[in-house]
Structure 1
Amino acid sequence: MKPVALRSDRLVLDQPGAADVDDITRYCQDPVFERYLTTPWPYERLHAVGFLHNVVEPGWAEDREYTWALRRTEGGPLIGVIAWRSRLGDVGFWLGAEHRGAGLMAEALGVVADWVFAQDVPVIRWECAVGNIASASTARAVGFRYTGEAPLDVPARDGSRPPGWHGELTPISPRTPRPGWPI
């Protein structure tokens, strides 16, 4: 599939590219990433280059993982990343520290969910490491239903599957926070 650009009221979502390597590197050095994400640690520039060449580009080309850069304007700097993985049927995302707290990731997640559902996907799954309140708050804000705590489907850096919070969203799910979340 060719990369698809998406838009929301405050964001442009397009494919990350070579011009984004330094921003990806800088954001992925955030200690929060070490604690909650599966990105390499310590994160170096070579990891960002590998992400683009080994994940982003073949993901779109092979119709298996669709990764978008979040930008505030067309051609603007990358402020975060969101992806939908067709194999697992799940979403993953991160936002640079200085851009958190304004509802931008929830806005991006809603736009991506609309696009995924337009591809006739019946459910989108989400998970995060237990304690990742920011990720859980984003999923909850978009209307994901909390489905419980269980080992993560995506292994941690060391190959283990620590406890995770899980949720799901369907095309008919209300796009408002739902009860039952541990946060």
Structure 2
Amino acid sequence: MPRGLPRCENRPVEEQTLTDGTVWLDRPIADDIDAVAEACQDPAIAEWVTIPWPYGRADAEDFIGTTVADGWAAHSPIWAVRTAERGRLVGTVSLGTRPRDETAAEIGFWLHPEYRRKGIISRAVALTCDFGFDPAGMGLIRIHWRAFVGNHASAAVARKHGFRYEGLARLGSDHRGTRRDHWVAARLNTDPPGPAGGWPVEV
């Protein structure tokens, strides 16, 4: 950064509940610790999401007390996914920004295994993208997605919601000390929300 320019820190995001009447997104709270700890026993989440493994209650406490709190304070909100207003947490979805850049964010999500293949995470991603691009929400220009190669379920959600495939990052991510390839896709605020073409058949 050139000298003499003011340093722009990411501002907090105003907390609000997002809903379409079927799913509800709000900030995870201490009462959600047990639900997070239970869901993260699923080996599939450990395979595709960068979480501690084995995953214990202390990890869930740190997630709620530190990761969630720091995220909301730094313009990187993390929402609990619920199937009823103030219901049990069944997953999370997030938009992570980088310091001094409030125009782009990375979307991330996971869901309890009992609630998969019911359209829940798809609805959550739609709500999150709408809020992310809304000038009254986060006012983003770009939302990008990445997933370890082989995570076809996550790729299907991204493709469905207008994310355009941008390529393969060879050994692009660290997963608990191991380098892994990941896929990359993105959606701009000018891109339509419907299914995106141009994805490789193997993804």
Report the TM range for the smaller structure's normalisation: over 0.9
In structure 1, what is the Cα distance between the partners aligned to 2:170 and 2:145? 13
User: Residue deviations 1:34-77, cap 9 Å, x none?
Assistant: 221111101111000000111101211233x2000011111100
Conserved? CA contact 2:173–2:182, under 8 Å = no
Tell me which protein shows more strand as a share of its residues: 2
Q: How far is 1:113 from its partner?
A: 0.7
Q: Does 1:67 align with 2:78?
A: yes
Match of 1:36 in 2: 48
Match of 1:107 in 2: 123
In structure 2, what is the Cα distance between the partners aligned to 1:141 and 1:52? 29
In structure 1, what is the Cα distance between the partners aligned to 2:83 and 2:164? 28
User: Residue deviations 1:107-161, cap 9 Å, x none?
Assistant: 1111111111122211100000000011111111111111111146653111x44
Using structure 2 for the length normalisation, give the TM-score: 0.84
Conserved? CA contact 2:72–2:78, under 8 Å = yes
Which 4+ runs in 1 deviate beyond 3 A?
Answer: 151-154
Match of 2:7 in 1: none
In structure 2, what is the Cα distance between the partners aligned to 1:45 and 1:115? 31
In structure 2, what is the Cα distance between the partners aligned to 1:150 and 1:80? 26
In structure 1, what is the Cα distance between the partners aligned to 2:166 and 2:174? 19
SS of match in other structure, 2:47: helix
Tell me which protein shows more helix as a share of its residues: 1
Q: Does 1:177 align with 2:200?
A: no
Taking only aligned residues, the RMSD between alpha carbons, in angstroms, comes to 1.5
In structure 2, what is the Cα distance between the partners aligned to 1:130 and 1:19? 34
CA pair 20-154 structure 1, distance change in 2 beyond 3 A: farther
Of the structure 1 ranges 144-153 and 102-111, higher mean CA displacement relative to structure 2 is found in 144-153
Using structure 1 for the length normalisation, give the TM-score: 0.92
Letter of the aligned partner of 1:93 in structure 2? F
Match of 2:174 in 1: 155
Q: Does 1:47 align with 2:65?
A: no
The structure having more radius of gyration, on CA atoms, is 2
Conserved? CA contact 1:95–1:105, under 8 Å = yes
Superposed, 1:73-88 pairs within 5 Å as 73-87=84-98
In structure 2, what is the Cα distance between the partners aligned to 1:71 and 1:152? 34
1:94 to 104, 110, 113: 110
In structure 1, what is the Cα distance between the partners aligned to 2:84 and 2:23? 6
1:133 to 152, 176, 186: 152
Letter of the aligned partner of 2:51 in structure 1? T
Q: How far is 1:81 from its partner?
A: 0.2
CA pair 174-152 structure 1, distance change in 2 beyond 3 A: farther
Count the aligned residue pairs. Answer: 181
Gaps of 5+ in 1: none
